[in-house]
Amino acid sequence: MSSRSALPEAMPFDLSGCLKNLPTLPGVYRFSDADGKVLYVGKAVNLKRRVSSYFQKSNLSPRIQLMVKQVAKIETTVTRSEAEALILENNFIKEMSPKYNILFRDDKSYPYLMLSGHAFPQMAYYRGSLKKPNQYFGPYPNGYAVRDSIQILQKVFRLRTCEDSVFEHRNRACLLYQIRRCSGPCNGHISEDDYRDSVRQAAAFLNGKTDELSVTLRYKMQQAADALHFEAAAQYRDQLQALGLVQSQQFIDSNSPNSRNIDILALAGTGDTVCIHWVSIRGGRHVGDKSFFPDTRFQLTENLNSYGEAFAAQHYLGKTKPEIIISNFKLSESLKIALIEDNGKNIQFVNQTSGERRVWLKMAQHNAELAITQRQQQQHSQQQRLDALAELLQLNADELNRIECFDISHTQGEATVASCVVYENEAMQPKQYRRFNIQTAKAGDDYAAMREVLTRRYGKLTAGDDSIGKMPDLVLIDGGKGQVRMAQEVWQELGIQLPIVGIAKGPERKAGLEELIIPHLGMVTSLLPHHSALHLLQTIRDESHRFAISGHRNKRGKARVTSTLNDIPGIGAKRRAALLTRFGGLRGIMAAGAEDLSQVEGISRQLAEKIYEILHH
């Protein structure tokens, strides 16, 4: 295909002039449409050659051909090297979320195990930016892996896991001390030096120095036994036994003299689906794994390796990296350089491996293939459910993509919260969920609460505020005819037309016996318990109910803390805020003694004793 024939007829800018003036330097390019929305971000060693190729090649994938037809603006940023361009490209992709880039959406911060920087460090689950002087170990693929590691460390090293507000105000050691899962630093059952020694041992364990740790523990056990300190010797013995059990059950890099932090990445593509399976090994221990899928569908004409490259860039740049990355695909030299420079120390990249590591790489690839099969089956099942729902509602299945569901939650009118959950692209979309604190409706008036939340939600959308999402294709109401009638009235007031389905509990309030109110068809019906459309509606309704209840409970809990303190004479807004800030919540205040309470600004000794007496009697 020639350069001329590849161009869309109505290209609204001087493409040939733009291409002619592009630099022959490394950098990043951005394609935007006529509305200024970025379609694609890419990197290049030679910007002119790379950008021009999109408008000259005839073997572009259908996805890229569609993108090229929409290009109305080309912008470039020159960099000093390809590695620098790769980092900038990754930053742009995360910031702009271009439609045609390969995006791995699960980009939330990964969890870490944290040892805090206190005199008696706390061991805790952590997400967020890493801060000194705390120590962080990870990242882990999921929260379960972190909590599993915490349980292991509790058994072996007996480190505290309680919050500071609890730790600082305990009068006696908690149950974890009694069952030998904590050494009881809160009440002086262990010295600061001995506790810090346990922390150092735990850090050594997490860093894979298990052989060195075993030798140290065995030496200390022998010393304690020689000194006739049999209780201490027994503790070291128990630690050695627990450590040995962990090693025998969970260590996979056992042949390595110095177990390291290793990531195994396996790439697989089948049909129109591609998957990266990530296995995380920390200190020689398999701490978890996870499958990732890009947003775009895989095209057989595309380079499968590009998905591996995109994942590695998005997953590692600007984040904690392992010492070794083993993969069944090759990374470009520019990405390797960028990762090493970003890391500040060398990273070993391995494609060809043998022995135990080869077994684990094959297992990771098998898991990627299984994940693809499961995902395709789930997509097929979800499509069947959507088709069944469209048939029931007499709607076009191709236009039934986004469903929003609303529920109201309260306890006898207290702390009323409305939830809005979103089902789109054949899956629930938690990032798009919204909660609404009901402000105008009277306590316990579910109809008025439903009217308020629908008016607030769709009033903004009809006014052109797309920052809160977009119009759905269907609205699902967790409620009966009254709530559906409220929705119809809101639609009339706002001048919108959206199909509504009310899902009401049946006469026996059992799952499978729900009544469906479908006003645009003028009918109320029930489906068989195994009906595919009912399964989809139940899934969305249950998620909305869960999200509403959790929001209500949080709101009610905060209100009751405030109410409890408000019942104490002499406690106003300032003193209440000072107490909550100092102790972290009602539980911390309850755990504090009168002397501790009197240390808070504005709380006299006399008032502190009154607070203590009211809260404990």
Amino acid at position 374, single letter: Q
The tokens for 28 are 């990043």
Do the domains spanning 401-553 and 567-616 agree at the CATH topology level?
A: no
The answer to whether the beta carbons of residues 478 and 544 sit under 8 Å apart is yes
pLDDT score of 506: 66
The pTM score is 0.56
Residue 1: band (very low, low, confident or very high) from pLDDT cuts 50, 70, 90? very low
Q: Which CATH architecture has domain 15-96?
A: 3-Layer(aba) Sandwich (3.40)
Q: How confident is residue 11, by pLDDT bands cut at 50, 70 and 90?
A: very low
The stretch 488-503 carries a mean pLDDT of 92
Alpha carbon distance 118, 122 (integer Å): 7
pLDDT at 499 over 90: yes
All structural domains of the chain with their residue ranges: 15-96, 112-250, 262-373, 401-553, 567-616
* CA–CA distance, 109 with 107 (Å, rounded to integer): 6
Give the model's pLDDT for residue 415: 59
pLDDT of 511: 65
Which of the pair, 60 or 584, is modelled with greater confidence? 60
How is 150-214 classified by DSSP, letter by letter?
HHHHHHHH----S-HHHHTT-SS--HHHHTTS---GGGTSS-HHHHHHHHHHHHHHHTT-HHHHH
Closest CA to 313 of 69, 22, 41: 41
pLDDT top residue among 489 and 11: 489
450-478 pLDDT per residue, tens: 898 899 889 888 877 777 778 999 999 98
CA–CA distance, 518 with 66 (Å, rounded to integer):
38
Q: How does the average pLDDT of the chain come out, rounded?
A: 81
Question: CA 536 from chain center: how many Å?
Answer: 24
The arithmetic mean of pLDDT across residues 224-229, rounded, is: 81
Q: How far, in Å, are 64, 73, 84, 101 from residue 40 at the CA level?
A: 10, 11, 18, 6
What is d(CA 287, CA 277) in angstroms, rounded to the nearest whole number?
14
Mean pLDDT value of segment 367-373: 84
Q: Which CATH number does the domain 262-373 belong to among 3.30.420.340, 3.40.50.300, 3.30.200.20, 3.40.50.410?
A: 3.30.420.340
Position 553 scores a pLDDT of: 64
* pLDDT at position 402: 93
User: How much is the average pLDDT of 194-206?
Assistant: 86
Which residue bears the tokens 């070291």?
Answer: 236
- In tens, the pLDDT along 418-451 reads 889 999 988 888 888 988 887 787 776 788 888 9
| Residue type for position 225 | A
Q: What is the pLDDT of residues 375-388, one digit of tens each?
A: 887 788 888 899 99
Mean pLDDT, rounded, for 8-30: 73
Taking the C-alpha atoms of residue 258 and residue 497, their distance in angstroms, rounded to an integer, is 66
Instruction: Give the pairing type, strands 474-477 and 434-437.
Output: unpaired
CA 393 to chain centre: 34
What value does the mean pLDDT take over residues 560-577? Answer: 70
Residues ≥6 apart with Cβ < 8 Å to 48: 19, 22, 23, 24
Supply the pLDDT for residue 254: 45
| Residue 322 token pair | 């392992």
Q: Which amino acid is at 247?
A: Q
CATH number of 567-616: 1.10.150.20
Q: CB under 8 Å to 575, separation ≥6 — which residues?
A: 600, 602, 603
Tens digit of pLDDT for each residue in 105-156? 654 567 888 999 888 999 998 888 788 889 888 777 777 778 877 887 888 8
Q: What's the rounded mean pLDDT across residues 55-67?
A: 81
Rounded-to-integer distance, Cα 113 and Cα 124, Å: 6
The DSSP symbol for 251 reads B
- Give residue 262's region: left, alpha or beta (phi > 0; psi -120 to 50): beta
Alpha helices in 332-480 (DSSP H): 333-343, 355-393, 446-462
Closest Cα to residue 480, out of 447, 512, 444, 452?
A: 447
**What's the CATH superfamily of 401-553?**
UvrC, RNAse H endonuclease domain (3.30.420.340)
